[in-house]
A = this chain, B = another copy of it.
């Protein structure tokens, strides 16, 4: 709980007394910032309060801006450039390392979703701060780590990523959000796999391939891939079909330390958290049963 002090005026002696009594940094800082600048300072009051509703999951999703053009400009492999996907995950890893209150991230194509635990107080839950810090760190990481994944490709221009905050009240809502993104990954990847098979191996123009696939169902696309190109879609790599999940796993490690008393080396088990990437289904229950701690964060309410 907090209260608001208005129009406090005091002399230096009074200030000394109050700060001694209360050790109250807020008051000191308040006095200290009463500067010449104050004439213009009213403009601060035009800023909005934008804290997320408490007791809700906070998701920040980033999306590459105009990544079709970016992929073409840098000659990304079609339909999927695995190096591009791995670079995305490298950036997400950076973000999760920075924001320790994220429990999970999910990425596919040119997007990544980051899940903050319900009770997070990161940036006082302020939307602007959360989405801009995540999006900007993701983008700067993309340029920073580019040479590791594309050692022979010159980065032509810096990319940008838009970001948004969405909040979800219940665990079921959160799961449905992630299922939505993973279903989207599947739908798009199946389409793209069929499309590029028709173009690259089937010799169709882009337009012709589009027409061929228009109105087809998943089963039709599977059939086209199998009968015309010998591709069993189910055997495609999981990273393409499922996208990538980043989680913090608890790793038990044997480490050797020096015993306090005996001064002898001894072996102990230490648990530390490590961010790990997996490419599995998260729509069914199995994933959530195997990682019960993901939804089990203890909230304030």
Contacts and interface: CB of A to CB of B under 8 A. Distances in A.
A45 B24 CA distance: 23
Interface string A156-187: 01111111111111101100110110011001
Most buried by B among A35, A138, A143, A165: A143
A26 interface: yes
Interface in A179-206: 179-180, 183-184, 187
Contact of A139 (B5, B37, B42, B139): B139
A280 to B, nearest CB: 18
A169 B55 contact: yes
Interface stretch (A103-111, A129-137, A231-239, A245-253): A129-137
Given A140-B143, A158-B141, A158-B143, A53 B169 contact: yes
Interface range for A: 35 or more
A257 interface: no
A73 to B, nearest CB: 14
Contacts of A161: 132-133, 136
Interface in A138-161: 138-145, 155, 157-161
- For the complex formed by this chain, how many copies does it contain in all? 4
A84 interface: no
Contacts of A228: none
A301 B44 CA distance: 13
B1 A41 contact: yes
A227 interface: no
Contacts of A301: 42, 170, 172-173, 176
B46 A49 contact: no
Contacts of A133: 65, 160-162
A222 interface: no
Interface stretch (A8-16, A259-267, A270-278): A8-16
12 contacts: A1-B34, A3-B5, A5-B5, A5-B24, A37-B184, A43-B168, A46-B177, A54-B169, A62-B136, A136-B162, A140-B158, A140-B159
Given A1-B38, A43-B177, 6 more contacts: A3-B4, A37-B180, A131-B132, A132-B164, A136-B138, A144-B157
